[in-house]
């Protein structure tokens, strides 16, 4: 087996044979030949023409042989050579092959060097262009981030301004709401006064339980106060609903402002990043992720809508505050007029009750004088009866002792008759005195009943006067005004 591309020692098999008496043409000027050898490319020289020995294994074409003559055909056929000798002859090179190989090596090295030089220059220009492009894009990104920070700062200032105004309006609305609730609660004081007057006047006794002017005015006052409380509570509920809407608008502004702060912090951090920063890193594929949910137009519209919504809520709050102030003024005037009318009715009723009470007191004084005389008569009758009791006891004791006499000594004698007659007489006297005593006592009882009726009437009148004058009017000396209502008598 022959190894191509290796150097081996070879010798010529013999002298050159002439072809038809003339020498063979030189290799350099020889005719075109058909190569019988398949070239072997050395590593690194695949694109260079393969070089090989050109002395042997060439077959002349038909045209050359015709020019030399028919005799040359036999002379051009190479001699038969053994395989070993043939291999040695094949691996031997000529000087022309050596020169050609050197020229090819030099040309290849020169071409490679030129190509490398051009590649180096192009690479430097490419790097400079890409560096300049990268710097320009980075500067453009910084400008865009700065503009974005300016936009965020503008909307932050707008949101802060609107949030401050909304908070102030919330405080004012909360104050008017607390004032309404306070007024509604403190109207419970005049309501309690009116109800207490009605309750106290229910303690009037008998005929004094009259559905008079005072009671009518008190009932009217109670209804008016309850109506005022209801109006205030309804308005307070509306304000409470408005405050909830205001808080929703406030939360939207605060949430938007918080998002703006977070975005500003992130964009400032991004703006301050440099190529020498420590916190930069590779995030493969991050440019392919699009997590955005808005564009600059919708982003600005979102904050603008929040501000407009807050402005609408503030306008509604101002209207409610004005309505509450008007309600305070109207209710204060109505309550004050009704309070005055009720007090006038009280004063007229107290004057009537005082006149009736004076008349009853005069009649009671006369009745008491008659009762005193009747009681003296009863006392004398009782003493007289008590004076008859001891003689009756003596007579009855004697009769009882005489009943214990033995046998025939139980005689109906004169002392027995006298004792029996004495007992009956004293008993009849006692019955007469007791009857008169009962009659006197009945008269006294009648006087006492009259006195009781008069005293009862006086107590009723005194009770009514006490209720109307001492209790009711004492509570109604001053109108129970409150700072929340702003009402003064």
**342 and 358 belong to one structural domain:** no
Dist CA 260 CA 243 (whole Å): 25
Q: Which residues pair with 34 in a beta bridge?
A: 59
What's the pLDDT score for residue 486?
52
SS (H, E, C) 295-330: CHHHHHHHHHHHHHHHHHHHHHHHHHHHHHHHHHHH
Q: What is the pLDDT of residues 445-487, one digit of tens each?
A: 898 888 888 888 888 888 889 888 888 888 887 765 554 555 4
Considering the domain boundaries, does residue 169 fall inside one?
A: yes
What's the pLDDT score for residue 278?
85
Neighbours of 286 (CB within 10 A): 7
Dist CA 275 CA 396 (whole Å): 144
- Dihedral (Cα; 285, 288, 292, 298), 10-degree rounding: 150
Considering the domain boundaries, does residue 290 fall inside one?
A: no
What's the pLDDT score for residue 71?
45
pLDDT at 7 over 80: no
pLDDT at 14 over 80: no
Q: What is the pLDDT of residues 110-130, one digit of tens each?
A: 999 999 999 999 999 999 999
pLDDT at 85 over 70: no
Helix (H, G, I), strand (E, B) or coil at 396: helix
Considering the domain boundaries, does residue 46 fall inside one?
A: no
Nearest to 67 by CA among 123, 22, 112: 22
- Dihedral (Cα; 154, 158, 160, 164), 10-degree rounding: 160
DSSP string, 14-76: SPPPPBTTBPPPPSTT----EE-S---PPTT-TTSPPP---SSSEE--HHHHHHH-TTHHHHH
Angle in degrees, CA 145, 149, 154, rounded to 5: 150
Q: Average pLDDT for residues 210-222, to the nearest whole number?
A: 91
pLDDT at 309 over 90: yes
Residues 90 and 57 sit within 8 Å (Cβ to Cβ): yes
Count up the domains in the chain and report the number: 2
Q: Out of 346, 363, 382, pick the residue that ends a domain.
A: 346
Q: Average pLDDT for residues 266-291, to the nearest whole number?
A: 85
What's the pLDDT score for residue 67?
46
Q: What is the pLDDT of residues 360-410, one digit of tens each?
A: 888 889 888 888 998 898 888 888 888 877 777 777 777 777 777 777 666
DSSP 408: G
**267 and 372 belong to one structural domain:** no
pLDDT band at 207 (very low <50, low <70, confident <90, very high): confident
Q: Out of 284, 316, 346, pick the residue that ends a domain.
A: 346
Q: Average pLDDT for residues 235-246, to the nearest whole number?
A: 92
Considering the domain boundaries, does residue 159 fall inside one?
A: yes
**170 and 308 belong to one structural domain:** yes
Dist CA 276 CA 284 (whole Å): 20
**356 and 317 belong to one structural domain:** no
Considering the domain boundaries, does residue 482 fall inside one?
A: no
DSSP string, 418-436: HHHHHHHHHHHHHHHHHHH
**303 and 390 belong to one structural domain:** no
What's the pLDDT score for residue 485?
56
pLDDT band at 218 (very low <50, low <70, confident <90, very high): very high
Residues 482 and 186 sit within 8 Å (Cβ to Cβ): yes
Dist CA 17 CA 77 (whole Å): 10
pTM: 0.57
**218 and 151 belong to one structural domain:** yes
**464 and 328 belong to one structural domain:** no
What's the pLDDT score for residue 128?
92
Q: Average pLDDT for residues 21-33, to the nearest whole number?
A: 40
Q: Which domain holds residue 210?
A: 133-275+296-346
Q: Out of 311, 346, 381, pick the residue that ends a domain.
A: 346
Residues 190 and 226 sit within 8 Å (Cβ to Cβ): no
Considering the domain boundaries, does residue 221 fall inside one?
A: yes
Of 38-42, 235-239, 336-340, 386-390, least confident by mean pLDDT is 38-42
pLDDT at 321 over 80: yes
**216 and 325 belong to one structural domain:** yes
What's the pLDDT score for residue 246?
92
pLDDT band at 13 (very low <50, low <70, confident <90, very high): very low
**333 and 364 belong to one structural domain:** no
**173 and 263 belong to one structural domain:** yes
Question: Which phi and psi angles does 34 have, rounded to 5°?
Answer: -105, 120
Token reading at 306: 């929040």
Residues 215 and 201 sit within 8 Å (Cβ to Cβ): yes
What's the pLDDT score for residue 38?
45
Helix axes 95-186, 296-402, angle to 10 degrees: 30
pLDDT at 419 over 90: no
With tokens 């019955």, the residue in question is: 431
What's the pLDDT score for residue 133?
93
**332 and 414 belong to one structural domain:** no
What are the b/e assignments for 409-443, b being 16+ CB within 10 Å? eeeeeeeeeebeebbeebeeebeebeeebeebbee
**340 and 365 belong to one structural domain:** no
**Residue 153, domain CATH:** 1.10.287
What's the pLDDT score for residue 87?
52
Q: What is the pLDDT of residues 139-195, one digit of tens each?
A: 998 999 899 899 999 999 999 999 999 999 999 999 999 999 888 888 888 888 888
pLDDT at 255 over 90: yes
pLDDT at 36 over 60: no
Considering the domain boundaries, does residue 458 fall inside one?
A: yes
List, in order, residues 6 or more apart from 443 with CB less than 8 Å away: 374
DSSP string, 247-303: HHHHHHHHHHHHHHHHHHHHHHHHHH--TT-TT----TTGGG-------HHHHHHHH
Considering the domain boundaries, does residue 90 fall inside one?
A: no
């Amino acid at each position: 087996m022959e190894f191509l591309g290796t150097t081996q020692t070879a010798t010529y098999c013999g002298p050159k044979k002439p072809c038809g008496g003339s020498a063979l043409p030189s290799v350099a000027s020889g005719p075109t030949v058909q190569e019988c050898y398949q070239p072997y490319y050395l590593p690194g020289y695949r694109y260079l023409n393969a070089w090989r020995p050109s002395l042997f294994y060439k077959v002349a074409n038909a045209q050359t042989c015709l020019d030399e003559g028919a005799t040359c055909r036999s002379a051009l056929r190479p001699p038969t050579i053994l395989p070993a000798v043939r291999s040695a002859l094949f691996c031997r090179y000529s000087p022309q092959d050596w020169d050609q190989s050197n020229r090819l090596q030099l040309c290849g090295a020169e071409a490679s060097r030129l190509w490398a030089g051009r590649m180096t220059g192009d690479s430097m220009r490419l790097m400079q262009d890409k560096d300049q492009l990268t710097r320009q894009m980075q500067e453009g990104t910084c400008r865009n981030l700065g503009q974005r920070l300016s936009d965020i700062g503008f909307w932050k200032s707008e949101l802060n301004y609107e949030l401050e105004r909304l908070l102030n309006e919330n405080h004012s609305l909360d104050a008017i709401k607390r004032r309404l609730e306070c007024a509604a609660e403190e109207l419970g004081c005049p309501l309690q006064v009116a109800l207490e007057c009605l309750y106290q006047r229910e303690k009037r006794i008998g005929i004094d339980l009259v559905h008079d002017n005072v009671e009518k005015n008190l009932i009217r006052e109670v209804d008016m106060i309850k109506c005022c409380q209801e109006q205030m509570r309804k308005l307070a509920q509306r304000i409470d609903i408005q405050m909830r809407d205001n808080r929703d608008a406030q939360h939207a502004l605060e949430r938007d402002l918080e998002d703006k702060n977070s975005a500003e912090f992130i964009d400032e951090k991004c703006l301050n990043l440099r190529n020498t920063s420590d916190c930069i890193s590779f995030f493969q594929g991050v440019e392919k992720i699009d997590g955005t949910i808005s564009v600059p137009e919708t982003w600005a519209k979102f904050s603008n809508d929040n501000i407009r919504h807050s402005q609408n809520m503030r306008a509604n709050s101002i209207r409610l505050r004005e309505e509450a102030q008007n309600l305070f003024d109207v209710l204060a005037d109505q309550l004050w007029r009704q309070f005055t009318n009720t007090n006038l009715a009280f004063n007229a009723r107290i004057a009537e009750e005082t006149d009736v009470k004076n008349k009853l007191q005069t009649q009671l004084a006369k009745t008491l004088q008659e009762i005193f005389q009747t009681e003296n008569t009863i006392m004398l009758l009782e003493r007289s009866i008590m004076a008859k009791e001891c003689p009756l006891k003596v007579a009855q004791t004697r009769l009882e002792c005489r009943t214990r006499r033995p046998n025939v000594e139980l005689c109906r004698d004169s002392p027995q008759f006298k004792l029996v007659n004495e007992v009956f007489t004293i008993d009849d006297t006692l019955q007469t005195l007791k009857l008169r005593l009962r009659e006197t006592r009945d008269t006294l009882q009648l006087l006492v009943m009259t006195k009781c009726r008069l005293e009862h009437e006086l107590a009723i009148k005194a009770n009514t006067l006490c209720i109307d004058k001492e209790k009711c009017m004492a509570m109604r000396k001053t109108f129970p005004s409150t700072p929340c209502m702003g009402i003064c008598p």
